[in-house]
Structure 1
Amino acid sequence: MKKVIYKANSRGTGDYGWLKVNYTFSFANYFNPERMNFGALRVLNDDKIAGGFGFSKHPHDNMEIITIPLKGMIEHKDSMGNQGTIEAGEIQVMSAGTGVYHSEFNKNKNKDAEVLQIWIFPNKKNVNPRYDQVEIQNLAKENELYQILSPYAKDQGVWIHQNAWFHLANYTKRKEEIYKLHKEENGIYIFVIEGEIEINDEKLSKRDGMGIWETSEISLKNETNSKVLIMEIPMHF
């Protein structure tokens, strides 16, 4: 088993006035050659967007883009004709494929929105762009990992063009769990959204991240209220 740990305070930062970001991997004005990606996981941005502000129309292609609001509401518009809002308790995915334009704004002018922006390299290039959005709060299982993303349209949650699986857990009491990888060649990136958690005897706190590969399973131990995102992704693609 191999591992890498990125403590919350070691991440790159960006302060653009209306947008404050913590970058796990190199992005925008943050560049670290040792932090370009973790396998197929290219971007994990922890955004705080001021009320009434956001990202104006901009392009993407050949990337699986996942948005998970943690607080507040984001208004989305794209060149595929999709328009609406996504809020905490939901997940949005956009397969950029051959190319798409979109914009994202904080719908609430009086409160900040907190959002995780995640990019995954796809296993198919130049697919037709697509959009999906699911209420993950309806999938939630208290004190148990539950799936929110997979490679299969028939599965629970959203799907993407990659052999990746995302799970969330909302722990409110002491709990121990084992996560078994779907594919041996995959790795796992754990991101602690709130609280503290122990992964394979390694303690992680709020906004800490840990990548693990060359293993078939990991153990999770929770002692306090916490929320954690588990991302299983290919290490080679």
Structure 2
Amino acid sequence: MIEQRLSHERGSADHGWLKARFSFSFAHYWDPEQIGFSDLLVINDDQIAASKGFGTHPHKNMEIFTYILEGALEHKDSMGNGSVIKAGDIQLMSAGSGITHSEFNPSNSHKTHSLQIWVMPNTENTQPNYQQHSLSPEEKRGKLKLIISPDGEENSLYIRQDIRIYSGLFDAREQAIFTIPENRYVYLHVAKGSLIVNDLVFNAGDGARIRHERQLTFSHGDNAETLLFDMRPVESNYPYA
């Protein structure tokens, strides 16, 4: 069963410098029907104005994944990390027992478009950790590339949860088939462009909860960029539900 949720059905916020869309309940946006899926709690689609960003703030016991679609983010944290995350880069920060960090758009003329994704960890109060990796378009072109996993396999980033995250780019005749492992749930998020998955049309910002399916076929992409989350078959691990 593929349960689509279209882009315009998401929550939203407009702070002037920050325009955000929320796939799941977050901050002031609360929908009891949208409180995450399995261990996936947050997908925030953020557009950050030039020279603006998030000041220093804390996190604890959360796996925080940042995926840059356009522009860049300058990151600093209490672990001593300082880096610029650019389009095509992925960053995974395991907050563990507690960290503080800041994120700013370093450009004085261009916006940054990013996804910030939160995953509930399978263990608490661990040592905080930071990882960053750059992926070329060729690594994701016409296929689903494993980018985050619990074992760090295939040069993916290591996450403290039973979840595997894939990224893919699809255009024109490019096709891919993803076989869902037995007794697993999948969440699909289309970040850019459009494509067809199992005869359903997905456009930028659309997502879907996927249960009891065995195979997903990706085709007819139009500058499409997508993320796929392979997860435990539980409905929600939202900590405040």
TM bucket by the smaller chain?
A: over 0.9
- Contact 2:170/2:195, CA 8 A, preserved across alignment: no
Which residue type is aligned with residue 152 of structure 1?
D
- Which of 191, 194, 197 is the aligned partner of 1:196? 194
Between the aligned partners of 2:22 and 2:41, the Cα distance in structure 1 is 11
- SS of 1:45 mapped into structure 2: strand
Q: Return the offset for 1:138.
A: 7.0
Count of aligned pairs: 235
Question: Structure 1 residues 157, 13: closer, same or farther in 2, change over 3 A?
Answer: same
Cα deviation 1:55-96 (Å, max 9, x = unaligned): 111111111100001111101011111111101011000011
- Contact 2:178/2:216, CA 8 A, preserved across alignment: yes
Between the aligned partners of 1:188 and 1:171, the Cα distance in structure 2 is 19
- Contact 1:193/1:229, CA 8 A, preserved across alignment: yes
- Contact 1:139/1:146, CA 8 A, preserved across alignment: no
Q: Quick check: 1:181 aligned with 2:180? A: yes
Q: Return the offset for 1:51.
A: 0.7
Between the aligned partners of 2:180 and 2:124, the Cα distance in structure 1 is 25
Which structure 2 residue ranges, 5 or more long, are not aligned? none
Question: Structure 1 residues 138, 12: closer, same or farther in 2, change over 3 A?
Answer: closer
- Contact 2:193/2:221, CA 8 A, preserved across alignment: no
Q: Quick check: 1:79 aligned with 2:78? A: yes
TM-score (norm 1): 0.93
Question: Structure 1 residues 138, 207: closer, same or farther in 2, change over 3 A?
Answer: closer
Name 2:156's counterpart in structure 1.
157
Q: CA RMSD in A?
A: 1.6
Between the aligned partners of 1:95 and 1:44, the Cα distance in structure 2 is 16
Q: Quick check: 1:233 aligned with 2:201? A: no
The percent of aligned pairs where both chains have the same amino acid is 37
Cα deviation 1:178-202 (Å, max 9, x = unaligned): 21234x3321111112222222222
Which structure 1 residue ranges, 5 or more long, are not aligned? none
- Contact 1:76/1:84, CA 8 A, preserved across alignment: yes
Cα deviation 1:191-221 (Å, max 9, x = unaligned): 1122222222221112111110223332222
Cα deviation 1:155-175 (Å, max 9, x = unaligned): 322120011111111122213
